[in-house]
Amino acid sequence: MYVDSEVSRLRTVLLHRPSAELARLTPRNNDSLLFDGIPWVSRAQEEHDAFAEALRSRGVEVLYLGELLAETLTVPEARAELTAGVLSARRLGDSLRAGVAGYLADQDPDRLGEILIAGLAHEEIKPGGGGLVYEMMDRHDFVIDPLPNLLFTRDSSVWVRDRVAVTSLAMRARRRETTLTHAIYRHHPRFVGAELLFDPTLEHVEGGDVLVLAPEVLAIGVGERTTPAGAERLAQRVIAAGLAHTVLAVPIAQERATMHLDTVCTMVDVDAVVMYPNLADSLQAWTVTGVGDELRVRPPRPFLEAAAEAMGIDRLRVIDTGLDPVTAEREQWDDGNNTLAIAPRLCVAYERNVETNAQLERAGIEVVRISGSELGSGRGGPRCMSCPIQRDPLH
């Protein structure tokens, strides 16, 4: 496991194929579960399968989070930990908690993994003895909430060289996602010996805000999902561990359209980014360096200038989203900036962002187009849906 850039040759990636958890979305709960619409589940699965195949056809090993979770649940310690996690919810009460505990204890690892991801509805369990909490629940309520955003595997963990940061997700609907990734990285045989750089008990940081710009250079977006305290904590840890000499803290608007740094900027070559033009000139960065646990923070300056200096290059080339302000705004909303680099000058992007993809190709970037009409309803593109675990070293 090793990642020291956003663009070097991708070898292994973690995805989550959407399943029953998407079918839990309704007009009553899609807002609270952070989806802008109700996806057509079978079509979303077809689109995701095509995404995975596009990666495999270019030599990328695809790991599925659901399969890793089921295998992790064969480890007694992991099973006990994850079961205790869902049973600790204070809203359950003693009677319902006992009923749910008995139900979960009867499930094999595959089925238990499905429940931890897709949730458990009121009508799916009949606990012995009832209990006030169960009786007073609406028949449409969840005893265990589903995790439809697990699709976006980028957010719950980030690899920096040979270490993994299991993140701390800001939105209540997503916080349980990291209990699953945390258990996988600590208990699955594939990750034996993996050293954790961050964990879900710490300040909020989400993977969509973390860009590994170059070996030993990180950018961390600070906005709706990642706090200044979270950025500082991650900066302290990567610098102290010798994984980075420079971290750029980059404020972004605290809005749905710009929830993460990778919704406005992703790398497509060692010296090039695709970027929302409305922000290209205004995006600022605080430069964080240090020795050991002592951080030094330089005043803000233009992001593109600070990034180029930290990366040791003359300038960072910018490829605009769209050709005009209206197209740029539309295609930024449709995740035109949210590309996944398979190698330098080779990236995956949603086909719907016609102008941005054309801009990329004019700049010498090969674009692997995938459909995302249903996948995009959760506000995420190819980068959001993928967590690189192994890339070739950049140098």
Residues 6 or more apart in contact with residue 43 via CB below 8 angstroms = 373, 374
DSSP assigned state of 49: H
Gyration radius from the chain CA atoms: 21
Q: 298: which 2 tokens?
A: 């330089």
- The H-assigned helical ranges of the chain are 20-23, 41-56, 65-72, 76-87, 93-105, 109-118, 132-136, 177-187, 228-240, 277-280, 303-311, 325-333, 354-362
CA distances from 358 to 8, 57, 274 (A): 22, 23, 12
Distance CA 157, CA 249 (A): 18
Give yes or no: 265 in active site.
no
Q: 253: which 2 tokens?
A: 């608007």
Q: What is the dihedral of CA 65, 71, 74, 78, to 10 degrees?
A: -30
CA distances from 31 to 178, 194, 203, 299, 383 (A): 21, 36, 24, 37, 22
User: Tokens 């840890």 — which residue?
Assistant: 237
Residues 6 or more apart in contact with residue 259 via CB below 8 angstroms = 208, 223, 224, 225, 379
Distance CA 348, CA 56 (A): 12
- State the CB neighbour count (10 A cutoff) for residue 204: 22
Q: Hey, which residues are catalytic here?
A: 384
